[in-house]
Structures are given as structure tokens and as C-alpha cells.
């Protein structure tokens, strides 16, 4: 199906079901319950899940297949965002041209940076990509202020010379982004008993793009091109000794990865037409590295899981404060309750990074293959238990 084998088709279907039914899956608790704060089925967060999933999928094509670790991929995310906002300012509020321009400009930018950076490998390659990203970040803040609007960020105004469409709506406000008339912020709310589900047009556009990006990643992984990239990761020097030039393959992987990042940046600007230099900072590049390693570098679904895990911690777990903790442990005696809250306090709220760091260390130490390896171990354990139960239930013939 779709040119994929049974296993890959099943994986694609799993991703499609998870993304398309996310408003239900991410809202498991009733709205008025105390556990409702763990619900993540609201449009802004769901959009971040899929957008950073696309970003991580693209990064995994470079890092997971070739072993080249880039610390500057956020530069392409920022370039994609700036390109999209400029398209909104100059052409129209339709998100399709903006997204296409983001992919093209980011691909060209990645071609230039990759051509220079890939002259080195290992840690030297990583340092070069980090240097280029930090230069881009600094330029966006200072020299390129007429293009990027500096630290204020590039955003839409009522004076934008938009060629197609109006510069202002009838009530004098800035037009909103849309896809052939469908507003990205358009949301339908459905109440089912105590549960409330939100279906956002912008989210479903991002979800469809994620499914397409995931399908393309599968085809790349299973193609002869993907096999060549794995050969680069296995032993690039031996590959060169056979007479094969690995440079075009690694450069192509770098450009494709940069285009994925530009796509993610264009989608971010399409959902919220604002682009800032902070998206190009080294911390954003480090975040996608964590997502990929945490989910499982070199696996197909791992980066998507890693992106969702980190974004959930950043947006949900970080909201837990002392008042919530006191509500949880109110059944305890006052002194014991205060002591437990005091112990847990450093790991929640603003300290969510500490909890994430501990979990990351545990994954790296005990699950080098990331969350995907953890799932495989659990599946193997369940399968092994079933097989042992079946063997015990078999009736052995009398001898």
C-alpha cells in the first residue's frame, strides 16, 4: 500500500490515527475534573506537537541516517518563518505560497551551509553548523534588522503592500492567515457530556503535512539513497575507498533535512504570523537534538514521539505549581503535606527542565534506542509472557 511494505504501512497508519484523532486522545479527562490540567487537546499545543514532529523527522534524516550531528538546524527553522511572514506581507494571506517559499529558501540556505560544513566531519562539523546558526541569529538581531525587524520580530502591519487580498479587513484589523478561505484559527468545539473537544483547521493542516512528511521519510529510509546514507554512518572512509563519493549523498541529506526544518518554520508562521530571531538560537537547535535522541535516533516514529514528549513537558508539566500540589496531597497531615510539597517543588513548574533532564539521562543510560526501544522491550516482554503461557497450557502426550 502506497509503495510500502506491511510494517511501514502499519506505522504510517498509526501516525495518521494518532494525529487525526489527537483532539480525542489528548483530552482524556473531563473538563471540570482535577486532572483536566493534564489535557493537551487544545489547538496551540497540538499544532506544536506536529510542527516540531516535522522538524524532528527532518533532523533524523541527517543525524539518524548519516550520523552527522548538526547543532545549527534552528537556523533553517528561523529562515522558514521569516520567509513565510514576508510572503504574507507582500503577496497574500494564503498559507500555501508562504509554506512553499519557506521550503525553497530554507533548502537554498541549507545548500550553502552544508556545502561548507560538510568539508569536515565529527565534532568539527557540529561546531561549524553551530557557528553558522549563531551568526544567523546575530545577523537577524542586528545587521539584517530591515529584513527581520531585529529583536521585536517580523510581524504583519496595516501598512503591508499586499498584492493579492486586502491590507485590512472591513473593521480595520489585520487579515488572518487562511487556506483558500479557510481561516487557520477557525475552531469547532464539540461537547460530549463533561468532555470538550476542539477541532482546529490550522491543526489539521499541520497534521496532514506531518503525515505526508512522515510518508516521505519512510520512502527515503527504504530507498537506495537511504542505504547509501546508512553506509556513510557505518564507515564513510571505507565507502570512499571503494570509489564512491559520499559528499553528494551527505549534502543531499543535509538539504532535505533543512527543507523539513523550513517547512516546520513556515507552518509556525502560518499558525501565528510572527517570526523572531529566538527561533534561530542554539537552544532551539539543542531541543531538536534532544527530541530525536529521546524518541530514538535512526528510527522512523521515534522523533515524533520525542517531540511530543518534550512539548508536553514544556506546556503541561510546567504549569503544575504549589497550589496544585497542595490539592493533590491535601489528604495528608499539614506538616507532612508541606514537606512533600517542598520535596516535589523543585521538579515541577519552572523546574520542569530538571525532571526532563533526569528522564533524559535515564533513557540514555537504560534505553539507548530511546522511547522506541522501551516500547519494543515492553512488546517483547508481553509477547514472551503469552508464549510461555501458551506452552504451559499445551497438553503433553503420555510417554
Whether 397 shows a pLDDT value over 70: the answer reads no
- Residue-wise burial string across 363-399, b where 16 or more C-beta atoms lie within 10 A, e elsewhere: beeebebbbbbebeeeeeeeeeeeeeeeeeeeeeeee
Does residue 219 contact residue 1 with C-beta atoms inside 8 Å?
A: no
> Which of 207, 217, 178 lies closest to 51, judged by CA?
207
**Number of other residues whose CB lies within 10 A of the CB of residue 226:** 18
Q: Label residue 262 exposed, middle or buried (CB < 10 Å: 0-12, 13-18, 19+).
A: buried
15 vs 160, residue with greater confidence: 15
Does residue 73 contact residue 321 with C-beta atoms inside 8 Å?
A: no
Q: What is the pLDDT of residues 79-107, one digit of tens each?
A: 999 999 999 999 889 999 999 999 999 99
| Residues 241-256, mean pLDDT to the nearest whole number | 91
- Alpha-carbon distance of 352 to 278, in angstroms, equals 21
> What pLDDT score does 398 carry?
45
Whether 395 shows a pLDDT value over 60: the answer reads no
> Which of 297, 281, 288, 273 lies closest to 134, judged by CA?
281
Q: Percentage of the chain surpassing pLDDT 70? A: 96
Q: What is the pLDDT of residues 39-61, one digit of tens each?
A: 888 899 999 999 999 999 999 99
Instruction: Find the helix or strand (DSSP H, E) in which 275 lies.
Output: strand 274-275
Residue with cell 537552544: 283
- Alpha-carbon distance of 29 to 52, in angstroms, equals 25
| Residues 212-230, mean pLDDT to the nearest whole number | 94
When pLDDT is cut at 50, 70 and 90, the band that residue 393 belongs to is low
Amino acid at each position: 500500500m502506497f509503495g510500502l511494505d506491511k510494517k511501514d504501512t502499519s506505522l504510517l497508519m498509526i501516525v495518521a490515527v494518532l494525529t487525526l484523532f489527537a483532539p480525542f486522545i489528548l483530552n482524556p479527562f473531563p473538563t471540570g475534573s482535577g486532572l483536566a490540567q493534564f489535557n493537551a487537546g487544545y489547538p496551540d499545543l497540538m499544532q506544536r506537537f506536529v510542527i516540531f514532529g516535522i522538524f524532528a523527522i527532518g533532523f533524523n534524516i541527517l543525524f539518524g541516517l548519516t550520523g552527522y550531528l548538526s547543532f545549527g538546524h534552528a537556523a533553517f527553522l528561523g529562515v522558514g518563518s521569516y520567509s513565510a511572514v514576508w510572503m504574507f506581507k507582500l503577496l497574500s494571506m494564503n498559507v500555501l505560497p508562504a509554506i512553499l517559499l519557506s521550503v525553497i529558501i530554507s533548502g537554498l540556505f541549507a545548500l550553502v551551509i552544508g556545502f561548507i560544513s560538510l568539508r569536515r566531519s565529527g565534532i568539527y562539523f557540529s561546531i561549524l553548523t553551530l557557528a553558522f546558526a549563531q551568526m544567523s541569529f546575530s545577523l537577524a538581531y542586528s545587521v539584517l534588522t530591515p529584513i527581520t525587524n531585529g529583536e521585536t520580530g517580523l510581524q504583519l502591519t496595516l501598512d503591508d503592500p499586499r498584492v493579492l487580498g486586502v491590507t485590512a479587513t472591513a473593521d480595520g484589523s489585520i487579515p488572518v492567515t487562511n487556506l483558500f478561505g479557510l481561516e487557520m484559527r477557525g475552531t469547532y468545539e464539540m461537547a460530549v457530556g463533561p468532555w470538550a473537544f476542539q477541532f482546529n483547521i490550522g491543526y489539521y493542516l499541520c497534521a496532514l503535512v506531518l503525515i505526508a512528511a512522515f510518508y516521505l521519510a519512510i520512502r527515503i529510509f527504504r530507498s537506495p539513497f537511504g542505504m547509501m546514507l546508512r553506509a556513510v554512518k557505518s564507515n564513510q572512509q571505507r565507502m570512499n575507498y571503494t570509489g564512491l563519493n559520499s559528499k553528494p549523498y551527505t549534502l543531499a541529506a543535509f538539504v532535505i533535512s533543512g527543507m523539513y526544518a523550513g517547512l516546520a518554520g513556515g507552518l509556525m508562521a502560518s499558525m501565528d504570523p510572527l517570526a523572531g530571531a529566538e527561533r534561530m538560537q542554539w537552544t532551539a537547535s539543542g531541543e531538536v537534538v534532544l527530541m530525536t535522541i529521546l524518541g530514538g535516533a535512526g528510527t522512523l516514529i521515534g522523533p515524533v514521539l520525542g517531540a511530543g514528549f518534550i512539548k508536553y513537558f514544556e506546556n503541561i508539566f510546567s504549569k503544575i505549581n504549589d497550589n496544585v500540589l497542595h490539592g493533590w496531597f491535601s489528604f495528608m497531615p499539614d506538616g507532612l503535606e508541606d514537606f512533600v510539597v517542598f520535596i516535589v517543588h523543585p521538579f515541577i513548574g519552572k523546574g520542569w527542565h530538571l525532571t526532563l533532564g533526569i528522564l533524559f539521562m535515564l533513557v540514555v543510560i537504560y534505553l539507548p534506542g530511546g522511547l522506541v526501544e522501551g516500547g519494543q522491550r515492553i512488546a517483547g516482554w508481553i509477547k514472551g509472557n503469552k508464549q510461555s503461557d501458551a506452552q504451559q497450557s499445551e497438553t503433553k502426550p503420555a510417554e
